[in-house]
Structure 1
Amino acid sequence: MDFDILHWNKKIWQNILNVEIVYAAIIYLILGATQAHSEFFTAGLLLIILALNRFQDKNQTLKYCAVWGNIIILPYEFCSVWSITGNFLLFKLPIIAPLTILILWLFWLVLLVPIVMTSADYIKNWFLRLIAFSFLDCQYGMDIALQIKHLPFFHTFNDQGVVSAFALLILACFLGYSWGYRFNPNLKFVPSRKFKWSVFIALIVLLIIDVWWNDFGGNGDNLLSILFSSYVDLQAKYFTLPNFTSALEPGILEEAERYIWMIILLAGFNQFKEWRVPIVVYGSTLLFALSHLSNVGVNGQTFLATISQVIAVSGAMIWAVAYLYTGKLWITMIAHFFTDYLINLQSGWASSSTWSGSFADWATTFIPLIFGLAVTIWMMYGDRRQVMEENADRLLNMNSYQTLTMLDVMAR
């Protein structure tokens, strides 16, 4: 067998997926016999999906059912079986718990890859791809079912979603590859004739200003004070591992999500050459902002505070244009990480957004949006736009990267 997994054919991936389905079905049969009879239904459903995969080449209807059955049902069930297996092993083998967790994490990182490599390429429509990705993007939040609170170091990385963030980044690489695009989301640096270092430096400076203002600005009760005053209140008590990991997770996970949204929209609207880049930037920003609606109720955050947050984080469209201009996803990951981490160092990772309806609240809601929009509009014209267009073309190139090391994915 060729050990370069990007060269594995669909039959190999299908065999791996079948093994996962059979294992999950066995676990649910055992649970049905020993705990809840309702688990027999889940086992039966998995066996039906296994049969659909076995006979999917018979006709298009079976193929359609197999593909969507894999994408809609299997991710959740695989994640559930992973936590059930993990908790059983941790209970039975507590003496080797750290080793068990590391092995479980290795499986978690690639758990859903066989689903992608057997099913994702059959989905061509951009809207259906968005729906498919919403089902595949399920590991974050399900990882907390692993009961490891008695191991604080491992618990922090697991329950803060860091491992799931890396799992999604790997999944994003394979997802793009399965659709015929790049495996590596980071473009190799090949400067365009239109590329200007002055624009690159200006963009980095604007990213730094954006991070600084969002973390330390917005103080006072009048517009000038809110715009130009800064207050730094880093506290030693917040220099903890949980505050670090709670910033690392969104920096990786949410930017991996943005990358997938961007290539889906790029491919979906590629025929509209004059509009595809604006659609990608504003469309991915809208999806990014709306994803924050899930923060309602988290740590007591109110609905109005969440709406304010959704509007404010829309200013992160600056990160989308930064990615398209530089071709480096790790740049936006770093900006995202520091935006969250510097806030954590001032108020702790468990803090939430607030809303009182004051002038300062309104200002800090819309200033980030206006700033991000202004930078984005500036980037949409002239040579700057041309560089983004060229990088958009490169993102949709045929596969050219042949390795699966995370160092390669992050460094190129």
Structure 2
Amino acid sequence: MEADGAIEFLDVVARQGDGTLVTRRARTLVLAAGLEPVLPDGIVSDERVWHSEELLAKLPTLRDPRRFVVVGAGQSAAEVAGHLHGAFPAAEVCAVFAKYGYTPADDSSFANRIFDSEAVDHFYTAPDEVKERLRAYHASTNYSVVDLELIDELYRRHYQEKVQGKERLRIFNASRLAGVENDSSGLRVTVEFLPTGERTPLEADVLVYATGYRPTDPLTLLGETGGLCERLPGGGVRLGRDYRIATSPELRCGIYVQGASEHTHGLTSTLLSNTAVRVGEIAASLTDHLRTPRLPPACDRWCSAQGAGLLAPGPARRHGVLRRRARRRGRRSGRLRAGRRLLRGEHRPGAGRPAAGRAAGAGDVGRVRRRQPPPVPRPHPGQDLRLPAHGSARRRLHRPARPGGRAHAHHHPRPTTG
């Protein structure tokens, strides 16, 4: 915190693997909070009710399961059903979803253009109603869809078992869970077929909800600082095109979001295919802000008042700047004149200086005499004295080129007096 209340740094408190807390101070923060699993209202995961993200961690705890119930129609649900069907040959797997069948993912060439960087620019500048329309049009590229190869594989298994008369992979399409009872005696679910309302009770060992994920609200990680970040009318975080969060004026730190930007940047928010592009844009924005000079708050207020016409640049300060520029030009021109005289052979030791023994006159009182260039040694016969392009006080004396060879430049020390 500065004296006027501006926030220049953030203290980030992190918990390490051993439980100790570490505090790090930063001027810029990038939040990559990821996604969090979604369960239906009123459902809590336990040893029998899982979310699909817990599958691989909890599967080793099972002993001879007889039946699994998998809820969902997306890629995760289809993969869970296929994995359980292959990993437990003696168990029955019941897939329950409201669609009549799994929907294939739209990975066609034209549809995939929605993930291009140019499409992100178009989406960001589009009106809100256009953004919602585009998200609805192309939801089949990412949400509640399954790869066509996996759909064909599950159908092949289901059809083959149905022909053989031993159906382990059961498909409850156009259906929903009408009830879930989970007590000490076991887990019981009721599946309702939506077209007719017919209900089928099932006893299961595990109920797996493959009901997807939602982006984690990045502002929940900021504590009190989150109150200084702006939100859109719909509740989403207000982001710039460079994924920087819009904040109140007193918060001068840069806070960026990696992900959680579908409402402003489109469907690429949750996809790995565009992660590298987003990282590059964030890095470029961060670098640009670091290069920009950071003025103290008082200077910012002065510049703002000047831009509004309330203040004018001080004439004394402007005159001082011009005077310093004139002095620099005078020093450079003096060195150039001395070098030209030397090349013409007109160099005179002590030229431009008062004669010895000359007394200062009345006109010399209070005069600021310009510093004269240092004496330059006379060239030896056969030497070529050249001036560097940048007008430096040092001179390079070039010896004549050797026959068949190249000229070698040597730096000669400045002659000393006395």
TM-score, structure 1 normalization: 0.19
The structure with the greater share of residues assigned to strand is 2
TM-score, structure 2 normalization: 0.19
The structure with the greater share of residues assigned to helix is 1
Q: Which has the larger radius of gyration?
A: 2
Relative contact order higher in (CA < 8 Å, ≥ 6 apart): 1
